[in-house]
Amino acid sequence: MQRRFLPSRDGFAFVNTWPSQPAWEHKTWVGRVTVGDAAAGLCGGMVYAALDYWQSGTPLPPEQPKAGHPLYRFIVRRLVRSWFPLAGVRYYRWMRLPDSDTSRILLGRSVRDRRGLAWRTVEQQWQGVYKDLDRGNPVPLGVVTMASVDPRNVRHNHQVLACSYERADGRVTIQVYDPNRGRRDDIFIRFDASDATRPTTFEHNLGIGQRPVRGFFRATYKPARIPVA
């Protein structure tokens, strides 16, 4: 039986800090094409790549790769995979939603109008996440930190890996691997799961500055073959 994912042992030895350089480069007949800037972060790629190595039972490389290195290219490919085909759309949709359920008056009665992020997180996404964790499977999470209608703000959201969880008095604490925090086992997202129709505070110590966690969803993941050393 595979041991559970532990950030201090199974996370990358370096944090999600990169020099300003193209996240992706490709040579074409008209010249070199570059996309993105690694300085903005490669969190999704690091989460997926760390999980790929864990799934394969292969120790992670100890040093942070430079641009052009096979591991760097692999992390970037996994970053792209972590966003497509649906995650980018979901981030944008969730950024536009309210934190809690909203209602309107119809024929003198209050009728629920739209489900908020709290309900979608706790009643829909969390149900699948904890079942996977109970099976011993770490779960990549798309973490929504922004409330905005501007699609350019999608890049300010985050990705982490749920490793385990605890329940106590209706409150859930998820232990996560956060590439922004490195090999720390004390990183968490905590929330009250007793009533998701009302505003729910998601406590956390993720490495996202002062941005809040508004909700999270279970990202689609399929293992990939790790690069040959």
pLDDT at residue 30, rounded to an integer: 39
Which token pair is 15? Answer: 């944090």
pLDDT at residue 86, rounded to an integer: 78
pLDDT at residue 85, rounded to an integer: 72
* Cβ-Cβ contacts under 8 Å for 118 (sequence gap 6 or more): 99, 100, 101, 196, 197, 198, 199, 200, 215
pLDDT at residue 87, rounded to an integer: 84
pLDDT at residue 71, rounded to an integer: 95
Q: What is the mean pLDDT of residues 185-210?
A: 93
Which tens digit of pLDDT belongs to each residue from 36-46?
566 688 999 99
Which token pair is 159? Answer: 């990705």
Q: Which residue has the higher pLDDT, 222 or 38?
A: 222
Per-residue pLDDT band at 3 (split at 50, 70, 90): confident
What is the distance between the alpha carbons of residues 228 and 192, in angstroms, rounded to a whole number?
A: 43
Which token pair is 112? Answer: 């629920």
DSSP string, 6-19: -HHHHS-SS-S---
Which tens digit of pLDDT belongs to each residue from 75-116?
999 999 998 877 889 999 999 999 987 655 555 555 456 789
Q: What is the mean pLDDT of residues 60-72?
A: 93
Per-residue pLDDT band at 31 (split at 50, 70, 90): very low
Q: Which residue has the higher pLDDT, 17 or 24?
A: 17
Work out the mean pLDDT of the chain and round it to a whole number. Answer: 87
pLDDT at residue 20, rounded to an integer: 64
pLDDT at residue 196, rounded to an integer: 82
Which tens digit of pLDDT belongs to each residue from 161-175?
999 999 999 899 999
pLDDT at residue 24, rounded to an integer: 47
What is the distance between the alpha carbons of residues 104 and 113, in angstroms, rounded to a whole number?
A: 6
pLDDT at 6 over 60: yes
pLDDT at residue 37, rounded to an integer: 63
Please provide the distance, in angstroms rounded to a whole number, between the alpha carbons at the two ends of the chain.
Answer: 26
Q: In what order do the strands lie in the sheet with 188-192?
A: 203-204, 188-192, 171-177, 158-168, 139-144, 215-218
Report the SS3 class of residue 123. helix
- DSSP tag of 213: B
Residue with tokens 């998701």: 196
Q: What is the mean pLDDT of residues 198-206?
A: 92
